């Protein structure tokens, strides 16, 4: 099980695994996170009627990239990044910390025995990269970075960037309307800028609708209301690069100028950043108190789970009623000066990426993470330096 092998502050923590022998259902228990980006965005769009502040957007994005950098450095593609799968911790020691969740479609991509396209449809359609829409049989972690670009734009505008109508029917149907929405914003891709485009099955087959229809470039900056010369626009456009080989990586994005400018990204993404700014009471994720682990077998760890999210692999998501107290983790920060993120890279860079200045620092010892054992240390970015395992109390 992939989740039992990974550990990072911006990735959801698997607390326990239970199996019910009566109906052979499997439950995964996670730390409870009160919020997710979908609900946060919806709150600002439908209720608050005002955008997220720059500090919150930058902090949420940096932490998302930090967790994704860890995954990619360990050859893991998430393949289903979207706002509802990006959790944000509520009140407590990790308040405002992002947790990447829902690894149902995640895969190791270092040396797959079969092409990844044989796994079927991946990534919710609005966040699906163009190479996937055009039928690519082989793809990389760049598909996750496209999804992050879509999420970044949604944090800025409070609405999905590419809202195509999904085609239902045969396995992996051609999603022409989604491509149409992308082309209307980013313009028509060309062989000159994306040489491998000519090899993609759907590009070859649908000459009339894709190759034959020309689009005027409406300009991404007009949609997200950013200056084309701004660092935010530069980062976003590099995430939404058509050619996956040229698309910015998570490690490169962490070093981008956008994160060097005020306001600096912070450890608690939800804390007010300006004097007089009020704390926003975001809606909490629903809790189901009916889940009962009586009669189930705990697989690992052996301790009884007292709370956390429970996911029934046969059905939908369920959650325990009370978030469990964190036994270890990052220290609680005083309200007057919430600590900024320790901007040391968590996956492979070995230093503060790009030497980004610290706004309100915290001890780097509080952010040490365990490394996945790499099967082929000679490929890709180096992993974490070896660290001693820490016992975690439950």
- The string of pLDDT tens digits covering residues 89-146 is 999 999 999 999 999 888 888 665 455 455 544 558 999 999 999 888 888 999 999 9
3-state secondary structure (DSSP) of residue 100: strand
What is the band of 186 on the pLDDT scale with cuts at 50, 70, 90?
very high
> For residue range 321-377, what is the model confidence (pLDDT) as tens digits?
223 332 223 333 333 332 333 333 333 333 344 444 434 333 333 333 322 322 332
Given a cut of 90, whether residue 262 has pLDDT beyond it is yes
Domains delineated in the chain: 2-11+32-302 (1.10.510.10)
Q: What is the pLDDT of residue 189?
A: 86
Beta strands in the chain (DSSP E): 14-20, 25-30, 35-36, 76-77, 86-88, 98-100, 107-108, 296-298, 309-312, 317-319
Q: Rounded distance, CA 108 to CA 373, Å?
A: 13
Confidence of residue 300 (pLDDT cuts 50, 70, 90): low
The distance in angstroms from the start CA to the end CA of the chain is 20
Report the share of the chain in percent with pLDDT over 90: 41
**pLDDT at site 21:** 80
Q: Shortest CA distance to 107 belongs to which of 149, 138, 151?
A: 138
Residue 298: the pLDDT is: 72
Do the Cβ atoms of 257 and 265 come closer than 8 Å?
A: no
Report the chain's mean pLDDT, rounded to a whole number: 74
Confidence class of residue 206 from pLDDT cuts 50, 70 and 90?
A: low
Catalytic residues: 80
pLDDT at 23: 80
d(CA 385, CA 70): 13
Question: Which of the two residues, 206 and 8, has the higher pLDDT score?
Answer: 8
β partners of residue 28: 17, 311
Residue 305 has pLDDT above 50, yes or no: no
Per-residue pLDDT, averaged over 178-195, amounts to 89
User: What are the CA-CA distances from residue 315 to residues 48, 270, 295, 304, 311 (Å)?
Assistant: 33, 32, 19, 22, 8
Per the confidence metrics, is the pTM higher than 0.75? no
What pLDDT score was predicted for residue 207? 57
**Which tokens belong to 224?**
């997200």
**Residue range 155-175: average pLDDT?**
81
pLDDT of residue 315: 33
Distance CA 193, CA 216 (A): 16
């Amino acid at each position: 099980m992939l989740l039992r092998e990974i550990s990072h502050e911006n990735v959801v923590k698997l607390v326990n695994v239970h199996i019910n022998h009566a109906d052979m259902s499997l439950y995964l228990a996670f730390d409870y996170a009160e919020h997710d980006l979908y609900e946060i965005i919806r709150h600002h769009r439908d209720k608050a009627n005002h955008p997220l502040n720059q500090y919150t957007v930058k902090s949420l994005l940096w932490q998302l990239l930090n967790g994704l950098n860890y995954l990619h450095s360990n050859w893991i593609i998430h393949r289903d990044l979207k706002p509802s799968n990006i959790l944000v911790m509520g009140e407590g020691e990790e308040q405002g910390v992002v947790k990447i969740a829902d690894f149902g479609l995640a895969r190791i991509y270092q040396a797959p025995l079969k092409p990844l396209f044989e796994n079927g449809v991946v990534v919710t359609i609005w966040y699906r990269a163009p190479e996937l829409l055009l039928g690519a049989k082989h793809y990389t972690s760049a598909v996750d970075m496209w999804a992050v670009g879509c999420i970044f734009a949604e944090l800025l505008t409070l609405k999905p960037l590419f809202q195509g109508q999904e085609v239902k029917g045969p396995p992996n149907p051609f999603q022409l309307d989604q491509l149409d929405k992308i082309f209307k914003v980013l313009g028509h891709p060309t062989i000159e800028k994306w040489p491998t485009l000519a090899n993609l099955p759907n590009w070859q087959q649908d000459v009339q609708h894709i190759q034959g229809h020309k689009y005027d470039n409406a300009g991404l900056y007009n949609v997200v209301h950013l200056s084309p010369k701004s660092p935010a626009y530069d980062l976003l456009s590099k995430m939404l690069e058509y050619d996956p080989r040229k698309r910015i990586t998570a490690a490169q994005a962490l070093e981008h100028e956008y994160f060097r400018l005020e306001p600096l990204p912070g450890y608690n993404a939800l804390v007010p950043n300006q004097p007089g700014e009020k704390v926003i009471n975001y809606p909490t994720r629903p809790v189901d108190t009916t889940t009962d682990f009586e009669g189930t077998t705990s697989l690992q760890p052996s301790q009884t789970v007292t709370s956390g999210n429970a996911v029934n692999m046969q059905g939908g998501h369920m959650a325990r009623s009370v978030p469990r107290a964190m036994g270890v983790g990052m220290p609680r920060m005083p309200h007057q000066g919430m600590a900024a993120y320790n901007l040391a890279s968590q996956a492979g860079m070995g230093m503060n990426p790009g030497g980004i200045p610290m706004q309100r620092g915290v001890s780097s010892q509080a952010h040490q993470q365990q490394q996945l054992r790499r099967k082929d240390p000679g490929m890709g970015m180096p992993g974490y330096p070896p660290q001693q395992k820490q016992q975690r109390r439950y």
